[in-house]
Amino acid sequence: MRRTAWGLGSLARDAGFLGVIGIACFAAGAVDAAPTPQVFALTISVTAFADFDHTTAPIQRLDCETSSRAKGVRTVTFRSSRPTLVRFVGGRLQAVVAGGLKGTVKLSGTNTSNRLCSGEETHTPQSCAKTTRSFKNAHAAFSSAAAGSITIRPPRVSLRRSSCPEEPDDVVAFPLGPAPGPLHVALATLTNPRISRLTLRASARRTKNYGSPEDGVVQQRTAWKLTFVRRGR
């Protein structure tokens, strides 16, 4: 009887020991199952166009009604001044900001002063000199909403506003143009070590039609090129 009791106690201890081993093995397996980050150096190259024809709401001054019309063509080019390291974990891009984007803004157009007094209408045009503004402090944020998906937020920059031609608020709100919709890349491509470079291209368009009391239209479009060069962890 004593031998039997000892045998049961030994089995219980052994079972507990095996349980500890099982838990340890499970924990080790969980660590091993963690996805390996895929690290890339990202560089960006973008061209953005804006074409606007905007007339402000009229202002009543004594017996006259005045407004101003601005027509312009705006071309922006910018690119990375240095690569930005980005990481994909489980196919999802970890949130990152690419800074130090530098480029130029070329602008040309006209301003026109409109005046309506006692039924007589006059329009006084003013030609604007072609200008080029440079910048080197732009930035763009990237993230993932799902595996294999890349979300780009509209890039931002601190840039002096032009008064000739007068840039509409909608152009100022997107000084480097709208960002394209989510980009997609195959998970097999991200994890394949034989693929050392990925190039993604995307475009975006935005149109704003002004309603009364304003008038006109703003059309913006952008073309993006993103290059990912594989790096070690």
pTM to 2 decimal places: 0.82
Q: How far apart are CA 157 and CA 164, in angstroms?
A: 20
Q: What pLDDT shows up at residue 7?
A: 47
In eight-state DSSP terms, residue 153 is: P
Q: What pLDDT shows up at residue 33?
A: 62
Angle at 131 between CA 130 and CA 134, to 5 degrees: 155
How big is the chain by its Cα radius of gyration, in Å? 30
CA nearest neighbour of 177 among 5, 44, 2: 44
Does 21 score more than 60 pLDDT? no
Amino acid letter, residue 59: I
- The residue with greater pLDDT, 182 or 29, is 182
Q: Three-class SS of residue 30?
A: helix
Mean pLDDT of 19-41: 61
97 Rama sector, left if φ>0, alpha if ψ -120 to 50, beta otherwise: beta
Q: How far apart are CA 24 and CA 230, in angstroms?
A: 35
In eight-state DSSP terms, residue 214 is: S
Residues pairing with 105 in the sheet: 76, 133
Per-residue pLDDT tens for 47-104? 999 999 999 999 998 889 999 999 999 999 999 999 999 999 999 999 999 999 999 9
CA nearest neighbour of 147 among 97, 191, 102: 191
Tokens of 27: 């924990």
Burial class (CB in 10 A: 0-12, 13-18, 19+), 206: middle
Q: How far apart are CA 2 and CA 61, in angstroms?
A: 112
CB 65 within 8 A of CB 231: no
